[in-house]
Amino acid sequence: MTGQDLLLKDELGNILRVLGTDREGGAELQAEDGSQHRHDPQSVEAAFEDGGPMSAVLCVRGQFLDPRGQLSARYVCRMHFHAGLREVRVFYTPV
């Protein structure tokens, strides 16, 4: 792993490196032992937490599964949208 890799910790404290995205648009992770973990599309929940005429916050929650299909990590992704701006602020939090 290089210093430029995006790293996450799973629920057991293992380090996971973000590899990229899979065919469904979810992230793929690789553990230190080389095993690959995929997002669980069945676990994704999305809801607006805050919204108004000028801004909105979309919260997406989901999880990753290890190669045996067991839960390995959860995440929360909040996207902040503002009227008149093309940019979206994204906060990704492993939980």
pLDDT tens-digit map of 31-76 = 888 888 888 888 999 999 988 889 999 999 999 888 899 998 888 9
Cα-flanking dihedrals φ and ψ of residue 89, to 5°?
-85, 130
Residue 22 is predicted with a pLDDT of 72
Structure tokens belonging to residue 2: 């290089």
Cα-flanking dihedrals φ and ψ of residue 43, to 5°?
-90, -10
Structure tokens belonging to residue 54: 């000028």
